[in-house]
Amino acid sequence: MSEGPCESCGAPGRVLAHPSAPVSAVWCDACHARLATRRVPMGMILLVAGLIAGLVASAGAWLSGGP
Ligand SMILES: [Zn+2]
């Protein structure tokens, strides 16, 4: 069984390997292409951006007002 409905949209698809995870599932070509281009969740980007901003802020405070 290597074909079936796409897991994301239900269109006819086939078993494909996930572009960034060690799993395989049934996807159509359109959804598989979207997986490849959007493999980093926006929440992860915002989290990393927040961490960097916090580090920069604390480093700036340490440099200007440290002992
Ligand atoms: Zn699909």
State pLDDT tens for residues 28-47.
999 999 888 865 667 778 89
User: What's residue 66's pLDDT?
Assistant: 61
The domains of the chain are located at 3-65
User: What's residue 35's pLDDT?
Assistant: 84
- Give me ligand 1 centre to Cα 44, in Å: 24
- Which percentage of the chain shows pLDDT scores above 90? 54
User: What's residue 65's pLDDT?
Assistant: 80
- Give me ligand 1 centre to Cα 8, in Å: 5
- Which percentage of the chain shows pLDDT scores above 70? 90
Token match 């796409």: residue? 6
The runs of H, that is alpha helices, within 1-67 are 29-37, 42-65
pTM score over 0.85: no
- Give me ligand 1 centre to Cα 19, in Å: 15
- CA nearest to 20, candidates 44, 41, 36, 43: 36
- Give me ligand 1 centre to Cα 46, in Å: 27
